[in-house]
Amino acid sequence: MAKRTTTAKASPKPAAPVAAAASDAERTLHMSLLRSMLLQRRFEERCAEAYAIGRIGGFCHLYIGQEAVSTGTLSHLRPDDYMITTYRDHGQALARGLTPRSVMAELFGRVDGCAGGKGGSMHMFDKATGFLGGHGIVGGHLPIATGVGFAIKYRGGDQVICCLFGEAAVNNGAFHESLNMAALWKLPVIFIIENNRYGMGTAVERASAINDIYQRASSYDMHRGVVDGQDVLAVRAAIDEAVTRARTEQSPTLLEMRTYRFMGHSMSDAVSGTYRSKAELDEYLKRDPIALLRAHMEERGTLTEQVMQELDTELKAIVQDAWDFAEASPEPPLEALMENVYVDTTSDTGNAAGAWS
């Protein structure tokens, strides 16, 4: 993906019909990607169930169909890198390594949730893994990501921040302000558009003056590319290139991941009907990211039916455990209401030497 050019959509699949047998490394990679995606899927299927019976309240946006983006992206990050995202954040939190227990407990509004029950579905946070939040204002977290990139550069580190957002955000001023600053100051930020074709019920063509929205980066002379967001290996390859550039040249990239959400915008939205047809949905369901990886793995000999079944059983048990844990976790005590409005500390010592914590 050279600057100012389009990346091919192709995934790095073996070119020759008689490819070499899969190495252990390939097998391990495939299994970890499959595991990550399938965990998100099984987890969110139970979220839908929990929502239906009132365990989860408020707005709840499922990620089902888009798992290749989170998994492909986050499988590349180091533990000390950062990531920030929107309200559609359960899958990404899991892919970043937050425990299913802490995410489910947050969804249930319980003290053991990753934000103590104060964030909810849209606001997952975890300092330990550099998960800087699910954010509820469309476009609002892009300037924040840019600031994290600024801080990385300020401290002279080689970390990166991945910032995920829906395609509707590219029409908002925060997007443009952020891309301009990131390009102007050469910041290690990877802006990742999850183009699932709809911002609620508004198709991208009805909202954006250009349809190849990654080309918006051309206004900022920024590296850019478009990626098959259903192909986890293609996502990985694109992220690899962007991360390397961010680490070594500290320059930003805009990637458009073409994906699709298989569920409604939120729990109150029908899966298809007013703004998209059942036929369209069915067409996209054929490109389920998990099924695609599974087919590829079977072709490469890295997955058998039995292993798949065992994995599925294991993940379902993990999700059940998360549910049970969340259910058993207490609701926050009423004292928590007025806690965390302010901290009562000040920086009394300063840090003249610039020793970064």
Ligand X SMILES: Cc1ncc(C[n+]2csc(CCOP(=O)(O)OP(=O)(O)O)c2C)c(N)n1
Binding-site ranges for ligand X (CB under 6 A): 86, 88, 136-138, 166-169, 196, 198-200, 265
Is 268 among the residues that bind other proteins (CB under 8 A)?
no
- CB-CB neighbours of 240 under 10 Å: 14
Q: Within 57-86, which residues bind other proteins (CB under 8 A)?
A: 82, 84
Cβ at position 107, least distance to other proteins in Å: 14
Cβ at position 286, least distance to other proteins in Å: 38
Whats the size of the chain, residue-wise? 357
- Segment contacting other proteins by CB under 8 A, of 85-93, 180-188, 221-229, 259-267: 180-188
Cβ at position 174, least distance to other proteins in Å: 6
- Number of shown-chain residues binding other proteins (CB under 8 A): 57
- CB-CB neighbours of 262 under 10 Å: 21
Give the burial class of 306: count Cβ atoms within 10 A of its Cβ; 0-12 exposed, 13-18 middle, 19 or more buried.
Answer: exposed
Alpha-carbon torsion, ordered 187, 217, 144, 196, to 10 deg: -130
Place of tokens 């950062």: 82
Candidate list 39, 114, 233, 234; residue touching other proteins; CB under 8 A: 114
- Segment contacting other proteins by CB under 8 A, of 12-20, 117-125, 232-240, 292-300: 117-125
Candidate list 12, 58, 79, 173; residue touching other proteins; CB under 8 A: 173
N- to C-terminal Cα distance for the chain?
35
| Listed residue (170, 265, 162) closest to 220, CA to CA | 170
Q: How far is CA 211 from CA 51, 235, 257, 283, in A?
A: 34, 20, 13, 20
Q: How many CA atoms lie within 13 A of 227 on its CB side?
A: 33
In one letter, which amino acid is 20?
A
Q: Which of 33/105 has CB closer to other proteins? A: 105
143 binds, among other proteins, ligand X, none (CB under 5 to 8 A by kind): other proteins
- Segment contacting other proteins by CB under 8 A, of 110-118, 197-205, 306-314, 322-330: 110-118
327 binds, among ligand X, other proteins, none (CB under 5 to 8 A by kind): none
- Segment contacting other proteins by CB under 8 A, of 205-213, 245-253, 323-331, 348-356: 348-356
Is 345 among the residues that bind other proteins (CB under 8 A)?
yes
Helix/strand/coil for 193: strand
Cβ at position 208, least distance to ligand X in Å: 10
Helix/strand/coil for 145: helix
- CB-CB neighbours of 349 under 10 Å: 6
Q: Which of 112/256 has CB closer to ligand X? A: 256
Phi, psi for 220 (deg, rounded to 5): -115, 15
Is 166 among the residues that bind other proteins (CB under 8 A)?
no
Is 333 among the residues that bind other proteins (CB under 8 A)?
no
Q: Which of 200/307 has CB closer to ligand X? A: 200
Q: Which of 130/225 has CB closer to other proteins? A: 130
In one letter, which amino acid is 260?
Y
Element (H, E) at 199: strand 198-199
Q: DSSP of 35-103, one letter per residue? A: HHHHHHHHHHHHHHHHHHTTSS-S-----TT-HHHHHHHHTT--TT-EEEEES--HHHHHHHT--HHHH
Q: Which of 57/147 has CB closer to other proteins? A: 147
Q: Which of 249/356 has CB closer to other proteins? A: 356
How far, in Å, CA of 81 to CA of 335, rounded?
Answer: 34
Site track for other proteins across 123-152, x = CB under 8 A: x-xxx----xx-xxx--xxxxxxxxxxxxx
168 binds, among other proteins, ligand X, none (CB under 5 to 8 A by kind): ligand X
Residue 303 token pair: 């997955």
**Residues at the site binding other proteins, with contacts judged by CB under 8 A:** 82, 84, 113-119, 123, 125-127, 132-133, 135-137, 140-155, 173-174, 177-178, 180-181, 184, 339-343, 345-348, 350-354, 356-357
